[in-house]
Structure 1
Amino acid sequence: MKPFRALRIHQDQGVSRASLETLRLEDLSSGNVLIRGRYSSVNYKDALAVTGKGKILRRFPLVGGIDVAGTVEASDDSRFHIGDQVLVTGYGLSQDHDGGYAEYVRVPADWVVPVPESLSLFDVMALGTAGFTAALAIQRMEDNGQCPDQGPIVVTGATGGVGNFAIDLLAGRGYEAVAVTGKREAVKDLEELGARQVLFREELSMGRQPLEKMQWGGAIDNVGGDLLAWLTRTISLWGNIASIGLAGGSELHTTVMPFILRGVSLLGISSANCPMPLRRRIWQRLATDLRPRHLTRIVTATVPLDAVSAVSQQMLAGTHRGRTVVKI
């Protein structure tokens, strides 16, 4: 096989750097399915890894990218054949296994998901980890009894990739979606995605009582910290909170009272290690009843591999909006 391009991350004296390099197949992590990469995406986790601002990689050097979609180039597993359209998100990609920012990606067959027939390779990377995570949150909430009749679902960090998809998917399912954001310029965009109401984080009246007035049927939280603690105190009877992110802090200061007096459930959403049967079910739902209505609106850019570093910098600086698809 001819040499190919990849965005590889190195660490020199504690400082990470990412650069386009020419690799050979023997340079890649092991696996029994070889994928010709066509598309990837830029997630917040990718931005942390590429810039070195977060401790994402467990070994160096490593190809970045936690998502990839493409066609099977070679397979030692009977479940996959040359030419099959497949995707991989999460698992060890760009942590301890070479990731999706490469023209060829080699992975274990147990990580590979067939692309649903009604979705294209571009579509599944437009969704990527962000869309998958939002759908997983809704799945877990509904598995635990959540329904539109319980009241509005509040989505924090609503302008991020997961937040955008959560608003879109919730509204499509008949929920009243309420967006929480710190970006006033995003109101129109959030309303067009389906938000019935947009609240500004700095204007929330967050008390400190163990229990406060019940306001929400449930929540999808991308922030954590004090905001998540406040949500536990304001969710209605038997409502669910899907906890996804920690941009506002990793600590949670609350009491057991919302859980034992109101039946509130706090559900952890870990998309990277989602079991394969559930993973396949989520992707089928994203192709059917959870298919986003505004995918082209949420995707704001398609960039080449050599633009990933710049997009990552913008994302961490807070100047980047929407989803960015990477065309390999």
Structure 2
Amino acid sequence: MNELNFSGGPGVLPASVLAATQEAIIAVPEVGLSVLGISHRSDWFAAVVEEAERNIRRLLDLPDSHAILFLQGGATLQFSMIPMLLLRDTGKTAEYLRTGYWSAKSIPPARLEGEVRLLWDGESRGFRSLPKSEELFHAPDAAYFHYVSNETVEGIQFHEIPGLDSVRRVCDMSSDFLSRPIDTDRFDLIYAHAQKNLGPAGVTVVIIRRELLEPVPRGIPEILDYRAHLAAHSIYNTPPVFAIYVVLLVSRWLLNDIGGLDRMDAINRQKAETLYTIIDRYADIYEGRAAHEDRSRMNVVFRLPTAQLEAEFLRQASAEGFSGLKGHRSIGGIRASIYNAMTLDAVEALSRFMREFAGR
């Protein structure tokens, strides 16, 4: 029933990737050993990292000005590593958007390194919408500007790139990375943990403009210094070999089976529209949480009129084989996460269930 797993994360993986992963757990075909027991110092794993990087670079049309790293610690560690690099000892102020659960988590670690200006706070709106460009008054001399492109809990997503191109732009793309084309040259640092669109938990992809690493503030432990990981080709210490290997398989799937990010974007738009159409059609039963123009194409979040009805919806959905639909503990409700690997057939099956439930 993997194809009916609408969990917010770890998310569903493509069927072909699961099959290849299952085989690799027993023995990687070209090595004859389990992927769980192959040395991270082997030539085979060095080639895995190299190909995964090459595939991501190709998918994003990423210029050589940017490096790709495979790190540990999830997006949460990046909340600290980024201000250590870009804010510490600068005497400048970093600008942050507080648009939901995860962007709020990123702010306290930054304040340990320097001044942080909350450029916009969506709490008064219930984190149901995102700021318009005319609501943001950027400082041209800010150390950097940070935002989360897709808030997984609240189901809101930026469909345009905010910020000034003259200020270093940093983005947490954990839940929509590789779901659509992006203009990578407009970003100085992008980070995304794997367990939404890329693979299993354990690895975080970081894309960083190389010039940010000259110079680097003093006092940063080597393991938290991007330069150390870049010099070691993401094998500074024992990396999550299994997770990186699955990221490689997913990158192959995006390139060879899907046909690139333009095609992936078209599929994701169709999946999201399928569910939002039902929500809008049966507005007396389903209340979409996000403002229409800010609706996420990755996380469709909605409520029903009563807690009892939501519980019944989840009970019947589970009986039909749908998994992972319970909303985040911080806001409740229902959340259908439709990451890259979620098939259109599965989304259409959920749509039919929602239509029939509304009718009942």
Q: TM-score, normalised by structure 2?
A: 0.33
> Which protein has greater RCO, CA pairs closer than 8 Å, 6+ apart?
2
Q: Which has the higher helix share?
A: 2
TM-score by length of 1: 0.35
The structure in which a higher percent of residues are strand is: 1
